Amino acid sequence: MLLDPDTAGHAAAGHPESPERLRAIAVAIAADPRLAALPRAAPTPVDPAHLLLVHRPDHIRRVEAASRAGGAWLDPDTYCAPDSFTVARRACGAAVMGMEAVAAGRARTAIALVRPPGHHAGPDQAMGFCLFNNLAVAVRVGQRRLGLGRVAIVDIDVHHGNGTQDVFYEDPTVLYCSLHQLPHYPGTGRAGETGAGAGAGTTLNCPLPPGSGPAAWLGAFETRVLPAVERFRPELVAVHAGYDAHVADPLAELRLTTDSYRTIASRLAAVAQATADGRMVWTLEGGYDLQALADSVAATLRVLAFS
């Protein structure tokens, strides 16, 4: 478990993507002696060369310049504060550290509980609260530096991970699967978006209408996503762990429960065991009701650590 102890320098007044998100998670972990005893590490900043495996140099320079200048809004939803570049590099570094630990056999599963999130960030664009694509960078490090071949990414955030899709859309070595609300931000992720070129057929989008509850979500997960992962036979399963499809979340209109996330974690662990010797890397994405987020992350950790 990688948990950044200090993200206060990446904040904007009134913004839902706030330091309180990780504080709520930390409180939930501390309240459960078993979770509090889990091995943990503080993340270190990502190697700039690793960022370049996904992001273009101009994008990295824009984020750094905005941060050094005292902060700026990079789009109507995405802010950069004076310490955002440092915090974002640690978030990305945590994902890479998790990948390194799993690839080296030091851990079977790693989870990076960090912010800002990442799955909207593309090669040359920050958006949707995301500065760098933490999980995409970790996957590329796994493939280019650590000897991994095929990787399956499962995105359970309520928003479509357009940045991750863009990174891997033409790559046959990465399966990207997303379950998300549509219509909703960012407007991508239609069922007809299935990959291109050599990557044709390695993108699977499962859009769900507003109001969908556990039966519809888990139905698509069980009948479409898990079989696709099984057929792909990945060497590692990576998870964009967004918790904003929770019924309590203020930014979306799906109706999952904390128990839903417990089930999701259990099924992902089972498919990873069947296809990838249990190897998984999770990174935190959305989740903006603090209690629902904390409860759902704690439920996930109990499954991953003790089931």
Helix (H, G, I), strand (E, B) or coil at 113: strand
Beta strands in 107-173 (DSSP E): 109-113, 151-155
- Angstrom distance (rounded) from CA 259 to CA 248: 13
Beta carbons within 10 angstroms of residue 133's beta carbon: 31
Number of domains in the chain: 1
Q: What are φ and ψ of residue 142, in 5° steps? A: -60, -40
Quote the mean pLDDT of the chain. 98
Please provide the size of the chain in residues.
Answer: 307
Q: Which residue, among 183, 184, 201, has the nearest Cα to 193 in the 3D structure?
A: 201
Identify the pLDDT of residue 10: 98
For 212-231, letters b (16+ CB in 10 Å) and e give: bebebbbebbeebbbebbee
Q: What is the pLDDT of residues 101-135, one digit of tens each?
A: 999 999 999 999 999 999 999 999 999 999 999 99
List 119, 120, 160, 180, catalytic entry: 120
Query: What pLDDT, on a 0 to 100 scale, did the predictor assign at position 147?
Result: 96
**Rounded distance between C-alpha atoms, residue 31 and residue 24, angstroms:** 11
pLDDT in tens, 25-37: 999 999 999 999 9
Q: Between β-strands 174-181 and 78-80, what pairing exists: parallel, antiparallel or unpaired?
A: unpaired
Whether 159 is catalytic is no
Residue-level pLDDT at 9: 96
Q: Which two tokens stand for residue 178?
A: 């997303």
In this model, does residue 307 exceed pLDDT 90? no
CB 163 within 8 A of CB 130: yes
Question: Which domain does 256 fall in, by range?
Answer: 2-306
Query: How far is residue 87's CA from residue 84's CA, in Å, rounded to a whole number?
Result: 5
In sequence order, the β-bridge partners of residue 129 are none
Contact between 177 and 202 under an 8 Å Cβ cutoff? The reply is no
Q: Helices in the chain by DSSP H: which ranges? A: 20-31, 33-36, 48-51, 57-68, 84-103, 134-144, 162-168, 214-220, 226-232, 258-276, 290-306
pLDDT band at 47 (very low <50, low <70, confident <90, very high): very high
Mean pLDDT of 199-219: 98
Specify the pLDDT at position 66: 98
- Answer yes or no: is pLDDT of 43 > 90: yes
Q: The CATH number of the domain where 97 resides is what?
A: 3.40.800.20
Q: How confident is the model at residue 5 (pLDDT cuts 50, 70, 90)?
A: confident
pTM of the model: 0.98
- At residue 122, the pLDDT reads 98
